[in-house]
Amino acid sequence: MGTAICFLVNMTGRFLIGVVLVLVLGLGLTSSHVIDDISKDLIDKFDEVKASLVDNKQLQADTYVSDGLVKLILKIYNSPEVKGKCEKEAKAKREEWKQKQKNLIPGRSSKLDYQALIHLKKSFAADGTWLEAMESEACSVCVLNKLCDDTDDILKRFKFDSSFSKRKQRRLCKVILLALAPRLFPPEDGEAVVCDTQAPYRTFDGRCNNLVTDRLFGSTGGEFRRLETPDYGDCVSALRTDENGDELPNARNVSRFVHDGNEERKTPESSTLTHLAMNFAQFLDHDVTLAEAQGLDCEPYNAKLNPECINIEVPDDDSSFRNRSVREFELERDAPHREPKGCKLIVRQHSNTITAYIDGSNVYGSSDEEAADLRDRNGLLRTMKPPHGCPMKRLLPAQDPDLFCESRDPLRPCFVAGDERANENPGLISVHTIFVREHNRIAKEFNRITSWDAERIFQETRRIIGAVLQRIVYNEFLPLILSKKMILDNDLNLLSGKKTSKDYDPTLNAQMSSAFSVAAYRFGHSMIRDTFSRIPQVIFEQKCDKEKPFLPIPTLDFGNPQYVYDKCQGALDSIYRGLVDDPSSKVDGKFAAAVQNNLSRGKCDLADLIAINIERSRERGVGGYTRYRNGFCKMGRKKVKEFDDLKKDGFTTEAIKNLKMVYKHVDDIDLFTGLHLEGSNPDDLEKYVKCAEEKKENVHADSTE
């Protein structure tokens, strides 16, 4: 699972969590390389570094392109035949989309049930903003087509290798022009951020964490990073296509034929991970990444009127869903990041609506307003006494009754927490509740032993909870997920005693990457079981066979909080014992039927989570598996060029056979699918670990206070 591991290492980096999470690719080119003279060798090198070139802040355009070429591009761009016509065409398309919106059939609220378990008020974009973004994107597509497809003036200047097909030359031309966009259209000055450099506590929205390079690094609303060049069908925003420019295979077919969809199949259990590892991984994800949604009505009768609806068609022979009258899975595209206005060369990016740091934002929120709403008196967090009168410990506060909730009992409402996805499953609710209770336990102790005011008690406790989360991630979670070799190679061990790390690098952007959030970190979906066990205390502590276990909770009952209130079945405590006692499913590319064939997202809405994951990567412009395996992750082995080359990465013969049946080319394999099918790469660690640990002791010997 080498490629999958590289994303987790990239997320944690060589730095203490909460400082910076993502490694940055180096450019690797020197000033002697100019795009006026592109040889085959340079193109190969460019393939390795193009992700960095797309990052506006890393492109030193004068190093890579001559003034003559810039002048030529701008001359053609500013002509009436290019800019003038493209602006007119893009505005016409916007008007066409607006007219289509008027023909929508009134149905459910724009904030739909199928989105409500993931998005509530906070993470929905303002209505209609997609129209403005799509006008900019349409103009960008038009300009690129005219510069690279309709004329050979620029292609001739690039001097591409003659072995490249015309399609490849034109596509690479567009990629290069997009990389040069900051030179062609200098970005406007960013927002001025005022920071209190003496502030003793983190901001809630992540601003001012980095006071040296960029005060917005890792803050809410930041743009998801790219580890590889965005891979869109039109280079700007259209869904990723296959190597021939055709539509990729149906995502549901990939799910059922490659990932072995079968309602009767039982997923094998992990020998090292409990079901709590799955729920903590989800809890951790909800501390660092949440894309902005659009809240569009993608009901089948409206979907074709909105280009941002990308519903997944259920194949005719798919009896699992067709027999239940499910013809398609509703799916909307994530909202585009705030694009610059006007007809400029842009690529669609996306916004992270929460902080990218492991800072407990899933407990406290990612804004001052959220934090204020969650606070109680005396530095505590709000909790709720169970409304039906049972003698139970306090729970998370009740959610606003006007918001979507799967509960059918007004006395058993959904909950509100620092992250709006807290109600997705009873295990996640349990983890949220544990951390809120721990905050209040510590805060009460501070009230007892100090004379601090409520604000200091709240902030000092918040600081402790953030540190606890970070320590759990590094000391308990990652050692179970990553190999010892990976942890040692990437310096992910916490230092013992009073030793302190000197690894903080303020030049690194802490924002999450799109590939991590929509593909790599979704490995946890393979860990989900079909049920959540509920275990009585006496069985958990004494393994007493005379006691009957409580009834398990079906995982397919998504979003229903009633089980947390069920005192007769042990309520939240029994759920948490089940998480600790049950093994998780094995991370192996196979998935529980509950999420693959029975994902319930509201009334009369069934879907396949695996198909949705695959389609989500495509719409976010995340390239295929081989692009990351051969490029960003640089596995130290020969590149994968044919399906049979996958054997070297531990793909089974059966998996390769299934991939060949669905995909036309090995480079078409979706990142989510490839990462889940990778095999393990066993290492002879005993000698290596001993040597590396001795080396670390020597390196950090002078770091003590």
User: Hunting for tokens 């109680």 — which residue is that?
Assistant: 376
- pLDDT tens for 421-457 read 999 999 999 999 999 999 999 999 999 999 999 999 9
Give residue 158's pLDDT. Answer: 78
Is the pLDDT at 188 greater than 80? The verdict is no
| pLDDT, average across residues 23-43 | 31
Highest mean pLDDT pick, 60-74, 148-162, 308-322, 628-642: 308-322
Give residue 324's pLDDT. Answer: 94
Is the pLDDT at 184 greater than 50? The verdict is yes
| pLDDT, average across residues 61-85 | 80
8 A C-beta contact, residue 103 and residue 309? no
More confident residue, 12 or 506: 506
Question: Which two three-digit tokens encode residue 639?
Answer: 């590149």
| pLDDT, average across residues 383-409 | 84
Whole-angstrom distance, CA of residue 593 vs CA of residue 262: 7
Give residue 160's pLDDT. Answer: 78
Please, what sign has the CA dihedral across residues 352, 356, 358, 360?
negative
Question: Which two three-digit tokens encode residue 370?
Answer: 């959220």
Please state whether 18 falls in left (phi above 0), alpha (psi between -120 and 50) or beta.
left
| Confidence at 692, pLDDT banded by 50, 70, 90 | very low
Distances (CA, A) of 588 to 201, 280, 313, 680: 41, 19, 26, 10
Distances (CA, A) of 376 to 218, 285, 440, 443, 569: 27, 26, 10, 11, 30
- pLDDT tens for 89-112 read 999 999 999 999 888 887 655 456
3-state secondary structure string across 548-584? CCCCCEECCCCCCHHHHHCHHHCHHHHHHHHHHHCEE
| Confidence at 546, pLDDT banded by 50, 70, 90 | low
- pLDDT tens for 262-289 read 445 567 889 899 999 999 999 999 999 9
Is the pLDDT at 705 greater than 70? The verdict is no
Whole-angstrom distance, CA of residue 165 vs CA of residue 180: 23
CA proximity to 570, closest of 545, 536, 603: 536
Give residue 603's pLDDT. Answer: 72
| pLDDT, average across residues 390-413 | 86
**Which amino acid is present at 21?**
L
Whole-angstrom distance, CA of residue 381 vs CA of residue 432: 12
| pLDDT, average across residues 19-46 | 31
Is the pLDDT at 511 greater than 90? The verdict is yes
What integer best gives the mean pLDDT of the chain? Answer: 84
More confident residue, 701 or 423: 423
Is the pLDDT at 543 greater than 70? The verdict is no
Give residue 59's pLDDT. Answer: 36
The SS3 of residue 659 is helix
Is the pLDDT at 211 greater than 90? The verdict is yes
| pLDDT, average across residues 43-57 | 40
Whole-angstrom distance, CA of residue 164 vs CA of residue 42: 13
For residue 329, which phi and psi values (nearest 5 degrees)?
-100, 120
**Which residues lie closer than 8 Å to 274 by C-beta, 6 or more apart?**
579, 580, 581, 582, 583, 584
Is the pLDDT at 30 greater than 70? The verdict is no
- pLDDT tens for 619-646 read 999 999 999 999 888 776 789 999 999 9
- pLDDT tens for 328-372 read 999 999 999 987 778 889 999 999 999 999 999 999 999 999 999
Whole-angstrom distance, CA of residue 415 vs CA of residue 307: 34
Q: Rounded to the nearest 10 degrees, how much is the dihedral formed by the CA atoms of 514, 516, 519, 522?
A: -130
| Confidence at 152, pLDDT banded by 50, 70, 90 | confident
Give residue 354's pLDDT. Answer: 96
Length of the chain: 705
User: Hunting for tokens 């460019």 — which residue is that?
Assistant: 46
525 in a known ligand binding site: yes
